């Protein structure tokens, strides 16, 4: 499992404002770390699974990682993008410049890009790209 998986999913699932905007799945907020989300999932939900990029961030005396992960948000296509945009902006707020708690690492810096539109016929989608540099402790 990626060092970011639990850090991001826990940060998102523990925010009452965000979880109030999401569906629930088996009693938990609909924040998934597998792709695709389970087939019986109701919208809206979030998927964060696997890095887009992961490269070393090492120096002569330290070891670290420079990671990029997409957080994808989905909501029902109902003629208004208000719900999906609210969800995406909340995700960005929670992750941008936030020092995530990552076991065995110290977050040096985290940034978010987006949200980027990723709409489909039956649902609206937004993607927030999280860039994070973490150093081993």
Q: Rounded to 5 degrees, what angle do the CA atoms 63, 114, 10 make?
A: 55
The predicted structure's pLDDT at residue 11: 94
The predicted structure's pLDDT at residue 1: 53
Report the percent of the chain where pLDDT is more than 90: 73
Q: List, for residues 30-43, the tens digit of each pLDDT value.
A: 999 999 999 999 99
What one-character-per-residue DSSP string does 6-63 give? HHHHHHHHT-HHHHTTS-EETTEESEESSSSPPTTPPSSEEE--SEEEEEE---SS--
Domain range list for the chain: 3-136
* Of 1-5, 71-75, 126-130, the least confident: 1-5
Per-residue pLDDT band at 25 (split at 50, 70, 90): very high
In this prediction the pTM is: 0.91
What is the pLDDT of the chain when averaged over all its residues?
93
The predicted structure's pLDDT at residue 63: 92
Q: List, for residues 49-67, the tens digit of each pLDDT value.
A: 888 888 888 888 989 989 9
47 and 37 Cβ atoms separated by less than 8 Å: yes
CATH node for 3-136: 3.30.2000.30
73 and 61 Cβ atoms separated by less than 8 Å: no
Q: Rounded to 5 degrees, what angle do the CA atoms 3, 28, 41 make?
A: 95
Query: Rounded CA gap, 131 and 72, in Å?
Result: 14
């Amino acid at each position: 499992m990626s060092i970011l998986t639990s850090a991001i999913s826990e940060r998102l699932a523990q925010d009452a404002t965000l979880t109030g905007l999401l569906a629930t799945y088996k009693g938990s907020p609909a924040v998934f770390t597998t792709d695709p989300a389970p087939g019986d999932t109701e919208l809206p939900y979030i998927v964060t699974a696997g890095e887009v990029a992961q490269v070393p961030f090492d120096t002569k005396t330290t070891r670290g990682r420079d990671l990029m992960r997409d957080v994808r948000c989905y909501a029902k296509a109902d003629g208004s993008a208000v719900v999906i945009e609210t969800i995406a902006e909340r995700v960005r707020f929670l992750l941008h410049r936030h020092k995530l708690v990552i076991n065995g690492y110290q977050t040096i810096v985290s940034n978010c890009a987006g949200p980027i539109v990723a709409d489909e016929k039956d649902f609206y989608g937004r993607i927030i790209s999280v860039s994070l540099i973490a150093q081993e402790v």
